[in-house]
Amino acid sequence: MADTQKPVVDYALCMACGICATECPLSCIALRKTDIDADPKAYPVLDDYYRCTGCTRCEKACPVNAIRMA
């Protein structure tokens, strides 16, 4: 498990569109209101780190390339 890469979101690019959360086959990504720039939008966070298999579907699906695996 130590080698598995997990998604990291670049919130400067993220549009909070929720595509990654819907695409995730195990629903590991949750959309939450965060404190970033006092923006009330619900941004994606990797909610279940251990369930994530690093399948990269979120990375591929992100329309603005805001997700990279690290």
Partner 1 sequence: MVDLTKSTFEEIEIPDAIYENFLSGVGLGAYILYKYIPKNAAPLGPDNILGFISGLLTGTGSFMTGRWMVVTKSPLTGGFGDANCGGNLSPSIKHCGYDGIFFKGKSKNPVFLFIDNKGPQLIDASKLWGQDTVDTEEQIRTMIPHKKSLSIATIGMAGENQSLISGISHDGGRMAARSGVGAVMGSKNLKALVLCGSRLIKSQNPEVIKTISQAYAKKVKASNLPGMATGAFLPIMGKSMVATDKAIPLDGMMSTAIMKKWGTGFGNTMNMPMGDSPVKNWKGSVLDFPFSKYRNMNPDRVQKHEIKKYHCYSCVIGCGGICDIDKVTNGRFPLTHKPEYETVAAFGALLLNKDLDTIFLVNELLNRGGMDSISAGNTIAFAMECYEKGWLSQTATGGLDLTWGNAQTIITLVEQMIAGTGFGAVLQHGVKKASEILGIATDSFAIHAGGQEPGMHDPRLDPILGIHYSCDPTPGRHTIGAGSYYTYMRLWESVTWAPKVKLGEDKKEEYEASSQVGLKSMANACIKQVLDGSGGCLFGMIGGLNHFKIFDYLNAATGWDKTADDYMSIGLRMQTLRQCFNVREGINPRDFKMNDRLSGFPPLTKGPLRGKSFSMKDMMSIHYQFMGWDRNTGIPTKQLLEELGFCDLDMEVINHG
Residues that bind partner 1 (CB under 8 A): 13, 15-19, 22-27, 31, 33, 40-42, 51, 57, 60-61, 63-65
- Residues ≥6 apart with Cβ < 8 Å to 37: none
Q: Please, what is the minimum distance in Å from the beta carbon of residue 6 to partner 1? A: 17
Question: CB atoms < 10 A from the CB of 43, how many?
Answer: 19
- What are the angstrom distances between the C-alpha of 22 and each of 30, 34, 36, 37, 44? 9, 19, 22, 24, 11
User: Which CB, 33 or 68, lies closer to partner 1?
Assistant: 33
Q: End-to-end alpha-carbon separation of the chain, Å?
A: 13
Q: Please, what is the minimum distance in Å from the beta carbon of residue 1 to partner 1? A: 17
User: Which CB, 5 or 60, lies closer to partner 1?
Assistant: 60
User: Which CB, 2 or 25, lies closer to partner 1?
Assistant: 25
